[in-house]
A and B are shown apart, each in its own frame.
Chain A
Amino acid sequence: MKKLNNNRRNFLKVSAATGGGLLLGMTWLTSCEREVAIEEGTGFKMPPRPDMPDRWSEVNAFVKIGENGVVTIYSPNPEIGQNVKTSMPMIVAEELDVDWQNVVVEQAGLDTDNFNSQLAGGSQSIRKNWTILRQTGAAARYLLVAAAAESLGVPVAELRTEKGIIYHDASGKSLGYGEVASAAAGIEVPEDIQLKDPKDFTIIGQGKKNVDALEIVTGKAVYGIDLQAEGTLIAGIVHPPAFGMELKSFNADEVKQMPGIRHVVTIDAKPGGAEMQWSDVNAFPQLIAIVGDKTWQVFQAKKALKVEWTTTSAGEFSADHRKELKELIESGKADVARRDGDPEQAFEDADHIVEATYSAPFLPHNTMEPMNFFADVNGERALLNGPIQTPEYLRKTVSAVTGLAEEKVDIQLTRMGGGFGRRLYGNFGVEAALISKAIGGPVKLVYTREDDMTQGTYRPDYLVKYRAGLDAEGKLIAFHVRGAGTNGSPVFANRFPAGAVENYLAENLSRESNISTGAWRAPKSNFIAGAEQAFLDEVAEAAGKDPIDFRLELFDRAIADPVGEKNDYDAERYAGVLKEVRVKSGWDESGNQHRGVAAYYCHNSYVAQVLDLSLKNNRPQVDRVVCAVDCGIVVNPEGAVNQIEGGIIDGIGHALYGALTFADGKPEQENYNTYRLIRHAEAPKKIETHFVDNGIAPTGLGEPSLPPIMGALANAMYKATGKRVYDQPFANPTLRG
C-alpha cells in the first residue's frame, strides 16, 4: 500500500523517458511496414490510423502528445489476450478527453517507478488501476488546460475541453492539445484533480475494437516467439522426462556435429543461495540448453541428444493420485477452515441427507504460443523481452541468478499468445537469461509444444465431497464441504453457501507431490464452482425445488440475516445475476431443451449462466449459453463480451475433455494429438451475454465466466441423460486415471 502512494505521486509528475531506457538501442527486425487504413464499401469501416507527428511532448508516464494532436497512451500491464491493451488506455483517454481515433497505444516495458502493479493475474488489471488511470488522464488534461490558460491569458475556469481541443467560449478561441503540450511539461499538478462524472463518459462503456486487431489479422503483430535481432541465436532446453528425475550426464559429441548447432551447456535456474520469488515454481531447474542458428536445427538436436537421468523421488501415477485424494477425504485429518452453528447435530436432525463427491484431473495451460523469451546478458546488464505475466518478479530472479543489480535488468513486454496463469511463472525467462550469459550473446529460447506441456506448472488435481442436510420442508439446514487437492485444497470457506446456512462446515486437506503446480485461469474456482453448482442442483432436486428458486431462497437468507461475518460476497448482486439470467434465458418458459443453471462469484464479479444442451449421436452439443454478468462498469463492452465467451468455451472444453495424466512421473500427453482441446465444431452454437449496469467501479472479467459454466454443463448433461456426472473430463472419464 505504501508503494502505491509513492507511485501515485510519481505518475502525476512529468516523467523522463518511458518505455524502458536500455532496450532503446536494440533494433528488432520487422517483416513489413506497419499498418495502412482500410477502405472498403460494405458495412464496417476500420477507423483510419492517425498520421504520426514529428515531435512528441511527454506529459506524464502514460501520455505523450504530438504537435499535431495525436496522443500516445502507454498501456502498462502485460497483454495476454484479456484486452487490457485496449481497455486500460481507454480509461486514460476518457479523462484526458481526447478523440479515441487520435490515440495510438504502445505497450510499456517494466517500469516500477512509474507504473503500479504491472502484472496480469487474478483479473485485477482494471480493478487495481481504475482510479490511477483516471487520475492520470485527468492530471494530464489539467496540465494542458493550465498551459492553454497561460497562453490565452484567461483563467483555467473559463476553459473547457472536448476531443483534444481546449475552448474559450467567451472569446471563441481554441487550442489543440498538440499546440500546448510542450508548455504543459513544466506545470505543477494540484493535489485534487477533478474526475469526470461517469454520466459524462464518452469512451468508457463504448465498444472499442482491439487496438492490435489490424496487426493481428495481417500477421504483423509481434509476439515474443517472433522476436529477431541481429546476431540472435536460438536456444532449446532438454528437461527430465518425468517429475522426480534429475540430470545425471549427457554426451553432446554427436549433437555438436549437427548442422547449425553452436553450443550445448547446462544451466541451473535455482542456484543455491540466490533469492527466489513465489513465481519461481519449477520442477526442473537443472537443464541442458542447446543453442544453434535455426529453430528447426535446435529442435532436431534436442531429440538426438543422449542423456542419462537419475531418479531422485518416486514417479507418480494418476490412478494413485485419485486413490490418495479419496483416502484423504474419507479418513484424513482436515484443517477446519470455517464452522458455523452445530453441523454434526444438524446432520443428525436432518430429514434427508444428500452426499456427492466430485473430482478433476491435472491440466496444462497450453497457451497457443509456447513458452519463449529473448535475452541478451553480459557482465554489465541484462536485456530481456518476451511474454511474461509477472515482469517485476522475473527481474528480481534474473538479478538474483546473474548477480546483476535490479536496475541493470531491463524487461520489455510483447503481446502474448495466451497466459491462463502459465506465464505468471517466469522460469523460461530466467532460463533464457542464463543461457545468454553462458554463451555470451543474445538468444531466443523457444520451447517445443512438448516442452510446454510436459514441463509444469499445472492446475493440480482435486477431489471434493459435499453433504447437505434438508429438513422435512426441504430447507437446507446443514452444509459440509471437505476438499482435497495436490499441493492445496480447492475450498473457499467463506464463499456461498457460507452465510446462507445456519450449520456449516468447511474443511481442507492436501497431499504433496513432486509435480509442480500453480495458478490456472480462475485458480481453485475452476474446479470448485462446477462441483458446488452441480451439487446444489442435486440438493434442489432432493428438496423438490426449482434450482433457481432454491438458490434465491438461500440468497434471501444471506441478505436478510447472514450467518457469520466473513462472507466474501454481496448476496444481492449474486441474486441479481441469477434473476437476470432467469429472465434473459426464458428459464420459466423452458420447453424440451436440456437446461442447466449455475451462478458463481469470483475475482470480485458475479456470473450466472443457463446452458442448453442436446445430444447428437450421443455426444453433448451445447446449443446456447445465456450469461448474466455483474462486473460493475464495463469499460469496453466489445472486448468484455469476447472475454465472457472465451471463458465459457474454455470452461466447457476443459470440463468435457481436459486431462493430463501421469505414469511413473511422466506426463502421458505431450501434444495435441493426444491432449484434446475444444474445437470449433464443439463450441456452443450461440452465446448471449448480458451485463448488469450498476455504475459500481469495475471488477474482474478475464476469469469469472469460466468456473460456473462447468456446473451449468454438468446440470444440463443430467437433464439430457438422466445421469449425474461427477468426474471431469465428462466426455471421457477413462482418461481420468
Chain B
Amino acid sequence: MPTYQLKVNGQPREVEATSETPLLWILRDDLNLVGTKYGCGIGSCGACTVHLDGVAMRSCQTPVGKLAESGQAVTTIEGLSDDGSHPVQRAWLEHDVPQCGYCQSGQIMSAVSLLQNSPQPSDAEIDAGMSGNICRCGTYVRIHAAVKTAAKLQANS
C-alpha cells in the first residue's frame, strides 16, 4: 500500500492506505482522531466535516491520494482548540446545543467556515450555510442562535 504525507492539525502525519480511502477513515482509524464522525459516507449529512486549508469539506468525500497531492492542510474538531475556547465552541457551550452530540463536531466545523466567509451572517446565510449538516435530534434552533452568538464573540475578540 502506498504511503502519504498529510498535514493534520498542524502536525505532519504519514499514513499507509489505498489512494481512494476517504480522509474520514484515515482520521478515525489511522490517526485516532475520532471527533470527526461517520454519518452517511455519501456527502449528505455533514457529520464528517473538516477544514481543508480553512474551508469546510466532507472528509468522507475526500480521497487521501488526492488530498496528499493537493498538499492542503487538514483541521479537525480536535484542532480547533484544545480546551473549547474557540468562539464557536464557546457559543455552543453557552447555548447548551448538544443533545446526543453526535452531529455537533460537523456542525461546529461548518459554522466556523461559515463565519470565516461572512463574519456577521444573516438568518438566510445561516440557513444556507448550515443546511448541509443534519441534526437528527433537532437542535437547529439552538445551532442558529449559537452561530449568532459566535459571530458576536468573534467580533469582540
Q: Which of A311-319, A413-421, A474-482, A659-667 contacts B (4 or more CB under 8 A)?
A: A413-421
Q: How far is the CB of A622 from chain B (nearest CB, A)?
A: 11
A420 to B, closest residue via Cβ:
B136
Q: How far is the CB of A597 from chain B (nearest CB, A)?
A: 20
A369 touching B134 by the CB < 8 A rule? no
A448 touching B41 by the CB < 8 A rule? yes
CA A725 to CA B34, docked complex, whole Å: 44
B82 touching A259 by the CB < 8 A rule? no
B140 touching A643 by the CB < 8 A rule? no
A645 touching B142 by the CB < 8 A rule? yes
B78 to A, closest residue via Cβ:
A219
Cβ-neighbour of A646 out of B81, B123, B132, B137 (below 8 A): B137
B35 touching A42 by the CB < 8 A rule? no
Residues in A neighbouring B77, C-beta threshold 8 A: 218-219
Residues in A neighbouring B30, C-beta threshold 8 A: 294
Q: How large is the interface on B (under 10, 10 to 19, 20 to 34, 35 or more residues)?
A: 35 or more
Q: How far is the CB of A7 from chain B (nearest CB, A)?
A: 28
A228 touching B84 by the CB < 8 A rule? no
B141 touching A42 by the CB < 8 A rule? no
Q: How far is the CB of B63 from chain A (nearest CB, A)?
A: 10
A214 touching B84 by the CB < 8 A rule? yes
A218 touching B84 by the CB < 8 A rule? yes
Cβ-neighbour of A368 out of B18, B94, B123, B135 (below 8 A): B135
B102 touching A642 by the CB < 8 A rule? no
CA A475 to CA B33, docked complex, whole Å: 64
Q: How far is the CB of B40 from chain A (nearest CB, A)?
A: 5
A220 touching B94 by the CB < 8 A rule? no
A416 to B, closest residue via Cβ:
B100
A639/B96 contact (C-beta < 8 A), A218-B81, A220-B35, A417-B37 known: yes
Q: How far is the CB of B90 from chain A (nearest CB, A)?
A: 6
CA A259 to CA B77, docked complex, whole Å: 29
CA A125 to CA B130, docked complex, whole Å: 33
Residues in A neighbouring B152, C-beta threshold 8 A: 42
Q: Which of A492-500, A524-532, A548-556, A671-679 contacts B (4 or more CB under 8 A)?
A: A671-679
CA A83 to CA B152, docked complex, whole Å: 28
Mask, B17-61, CB within 8 Å of A = 1, is 110011001001110111111111110110100000000000000
Residues in B neighbouring A37, C-beta threshold 8 A: 83
A44 touching B41 by the CB < 8 A rule? no
Residues in A neighbouring B142, C-beta threshold 8 A: 642, 645
Residues in B neighbouring A448, C-beta threshold 8 A: 41
Residues in B neighbouring A218, C-beta threshold 8 A: 35, 77-78, 80-84, 89
Q: Does B74 contact A (CB under 8 A)?
A: no
Q: How far is the CB of B81 from chain A (nearest CB, A)?
A: 7
Query: Which chain A residues in 197-225 approach chain B with CB under 8 Å?
Result: 207, 209-210, 212-214, 216-223, 225
B100 touching A40 by the CB < 8 A rule? no
Q: How far is the CB of A368 from chain B (nearest CB, A)?
A: 4
A681 touching B131 by the CB < 8 A rule? yes
Q: How far is the CB of B101 from chain A (nearest CB, A)?
A: 4
Q: How far is the CB of B118 from chain A (nearest CB, A)?
A: 15
A46 touching B99 by the CB < 8 A rule? no
B35 touching A81 by the CB < 8 A rule? no
B82 touching A212 by the CB < 8 A rule? no
A680 touching B96 by the CB < 8 A rule? no
Q: How far is the CB of B105 from chain A (nearest CB, A)?
A: 5
CA A704 to CA B38, docked complex, whole Å: 29
A32/B41 contact (C-beta < 8 A), A221-B101, A418-B136 known: no
Cβ-neighbour of A83 out of B99, B105, B144 (below 8 A): B99
B136 touching A367 by the CB < 8 A rule? yes
B96 touching A638 by the CB < 8 A rule? yes
A415 to B, closest residue via Cβ:
B101
B99 touching A81 by the CB < 8 A rule? yes
Q: How far is the CB of B85 from chain A (nearest CB, A)?
A: 5
Residues in B neighbouring A369, C-beta threshold 8 A: 37, 39, 100, 102
A678 touching B138 by the CB < 8 A rule? yes
B134 touching A368 by the CB < 8 A rule? yes
A650 to B, closest residue via Cβ:
B138
CA A393 to CA B135, docked complex, whole Å: 29
B139 touching A642 by the CB < 8 A rule? yes
Cβ-neighbour of A672 out of B45, B104, B123, B144 (below 8 A): B45
Residues in B neighbouring A686, C-beta threshold 8 A: 141
Q: Does A43 contact B (CB under 8 A)?
A: yes
A39 touching B93 by the CB < 8 A rule? no
A368 touching B102 by the CB < 8 A rule? yes
Q: How far is the CB of A701 from chain B (nearest CB, A)?
A: 12
Q: Does A38 contact B (CB under 8 A)?
A: yes
Of listed B1, B84, B100, B128, residue having the most chain A CB within 10 A: B100
A417 touching B101 by the CB < 8 A rule? yes
A299/B41 contact (C-beta < 8 A), A216-B101, A417-B101 known: yes
Cβ-neighbour of A44 out of B45, B94, B98, B101 (below 8 A): B94
Known: A38-B85, A42-B152, A219-B76. 5 other contacts (CB 8 A): A294-B30, A296-B25, A678-B140, A680-B130, A681-B128
Q: Which A residues contact B (CB, under 8 angstroms)?
A: 29, 31-32, 35-44, 46, 80-83, 207, 209-210, 212-214, 216-223, 225-226, 228, 234, 259, 294-296, 299, 366-370, 415-420, 446, 448-449, 638-639, 642-643, 645-650, 653, 671-673, 677-687
Q: Which B residues contact A (CB, under 8 angstroms)?
A: 1, 17-18, 21-22, 25, 28-30, 32-42, 44-45, 47, 76-78, 80-85, 89-90, 92-94, 96-105, 108, 123, 126-128, 130-144, 149, 152-153, 156-157
| 25 A-B residue pairings within 8 Å (CB atoms) | A40-B90, A41-B157, A42-B153, A42-B157, A81-B137, A207-B96, A210-B98, A212-B98, A213-B97, A219-B78, A228-B34, A294-B25, A366-B136, A367-B102, A368-B37, A368-B39, A368-B103, A368-B134, A369-B102, A416-B100, A449-B40, A645-B142, A646-B139, A647-B138, A673-B44
